[in-house]
Amino acid sequence: MRAAPVFVSQEELKAQQDAARQVSALPNRPGSYHIVTYGCQMNAHDSEKLAGLLSGMGMTEAPDRREADLVLFNTCCIRDNAERRALGNITWLKELKAQKPGLIIGVCGCMVQQPAMAQKILRQYRFVDLAFGTHNLHCLPSLLLSLLTQRSRVFSVTDDETLIAEGLPVKRLNAYHAYITIMYGCDNYCSYCIVPYVRGRERSRRMDDILREAEGLVKSGVKEIMLLGQNVNSYGSGSATETFPILLRKLDAIGVERIRFMTSHPKDLSDELIQAMADCPHVCHHLHLPVQSGDNEILRQMNRRYTREAYLDRVRRLRQAVPDIGLTTDFIVSFPGETQAQFERTCDLVDEVGFDAAFTFIYSPREGTRAAALPGRIEAAESTRRIETLIRHVEASTERVHQSLLGTEELVLVEGLSKRDEGMVSGKGRRNITITFPGDARDIGAILPVTITSCAANTLRGQRKER
Ligand code: SAH
Ligand code: SF4
Ligand code: F3S
Residue nearest to atom 1 of ligand 2 (CA): 193
Residue in 388, 467, 453, 460 with CA at minimum distance from that of residue 429: 460
Please state, in angstroms and rounded to a whole number, the distance separating the CA atoms of residues 60 and 380: 44
The confidence score (pLDDT) of residue 78 equals 98
Sheet holding 177-181, edge to edge: 177-181, 224-228, 258-262
Query: Dihedral sign, CA of 361, 300, 373, 121?
Result: positive
C-alpha of residue 186 to centroid of ligand 2, in Å: 6
The confidence score (pLDDT) of residue 458 equals 76
Please state, in angstroms and rounded to a whole number, the distance separating the CA atoms of residues 190 and 301: 9
- Phi, psi angle pair for 418, to nearest 5°: -65, 135
C-alpha of residue 74 to centroid of ligand 3, in Å: 10
Q: Looking at ligand 2, which atom is closest to the CA of residue 292?
A: 7
Share of the chain above pLDDT 70, in %: 99
Q: DSSP per residue over 53-122, as a string?
A: HHHHTT-EE-SSGGG-SEEEEEE--SSHHHHHHHHHHHHHHHHHHHH-TT-EEEEEETTTTSHHHHHHHH
C-alpha of residue 236 to centroid of ligand 3, in Å: 21
- Phi, psi angle pair for 191, to nearest 5°: -65, -20
DSSP3 helix / strand / coil % (the chain, rounded to 5) = 40, 20, 40
Asked whether 304 lines ligand 1 (CB < 6 A), one says no
Q: Looking at ligand 1, which atom is closest to the CA of residue 365?
A: 22
Ligand 3 binding pocket mutation candidate from 108, 161, 195 (most atoms within 8 A of CB): 195
Q: Exposed/middle/buried for 224, CB within 10 Å: 0-12, 13-18, 19+?
A: buried
Q: Looking at ligand 3, which atom is closest to the CA of residue 82?
A: 1
Q: pLDDT tens digits for the chain (467 residues)?
A: 466 778 999 999 999 999 999 999 999 999 999 999 999 999 999 999 999 999 999 999 999 999 999 999 999 999 999 999 999 999 999 999 999 989 999 999 999 999 999 999 999 999 999 999 999 999 999 999 999 999 899 999 988 766 899 999 999 989 999 999 999 999 999 999 999 999 999 999 999 999 999 999 999 999 999 999 999 999 997 888 999 999 999 999 998 999 999 999 999 999 999 999 999 999 999 999 999 999 999 999 999 999 999 999 999 999 999 999 999 999 999 999 999 999 999 999 999 999 999 999 999 999 999 999 999 999 999 999 999 999 999 999 999 999 999 999 999 999 999 988 899 999 999 999 999 999 999 999 999 999 999 998 778 999 998 76
Residue nearest to atom 1 of ligand 1 (CA): 230
Ligand 3 binding pocket mutation candidate from 37, 78, 108, 190 (most atoms within 8 A of CB): 78
Using alpha carbons only, what angle is made at residue 70 by residues 67 and 75, rounded to the nearest 5 degrees? 110
This prediction's pTM: 0.96
Q: Looking at ligand 3, which atom is closest to the CA of residue 43?
A: 6
The 10s digit of each residue's pLDDT in 386-400 is: 999 999 999 999 999
Q: Exposed/middle/buried for 73, CB within 10 Å: 0-12, 13-18, 19+?
A: buried
Task: State whether residue 275 is helix, strand or coil.
Answer: helix
Asked whether 51 lines ligand 1 (CB < 6 A), one says no
For residue 322, list its beta bridge partners. none
Q: Looking at ligand 1, which atom is closest to the CA of residue 288?
A: 8
Asked whether 336 lines ligand 1 (CB < 6 A), one says no
- Phi, psi angle pair for 71, to nearest 5°: -115, 125
Using alpha carbons only, what angle is made at residue 203 by residues 198 and 206, rounded to the nearest 5 degrees? 140
Q: Are 229 and 263 in contact (CB under 8 A)?
A: yes
Please state, in angstroms and rounded to a whole number, the distance separating the CA atoms of residues 247 and 227: 10
Q: Looking at ligand 1, which atom is closest to the CA of residue 193?
A: 19
Ligand 1 binding pocket mutation candidate from 78, 268, 269, 370 (most atoms within 8 A of CB): 78
Residue in 319, 314, 330, 317 with CA at minimum distance from that of residue 401: 319
C-alpha of residue 83 to centroid of ligand 2, in Å: 18
The confidence score (pLDDT) of residue 467 equals 64
The confidence score (pLDDT) of residue 107 equals 98
Residue in 30, 122, 17, 151 with CA at minimum distance from that of residue 132: 122
Which residues form ligand 3's pocket by a CB distance below 6 Å? 39-40, 42-43, 76-78, 110, 194-195, 198-199
Asked whether 199 lines ligand 1 (CB < 6 A), one says no
For residue 413, list its beta bridge partners. 428, 447
Asked whether 186 lines ligand 2 (CB < 6 A), one says yes
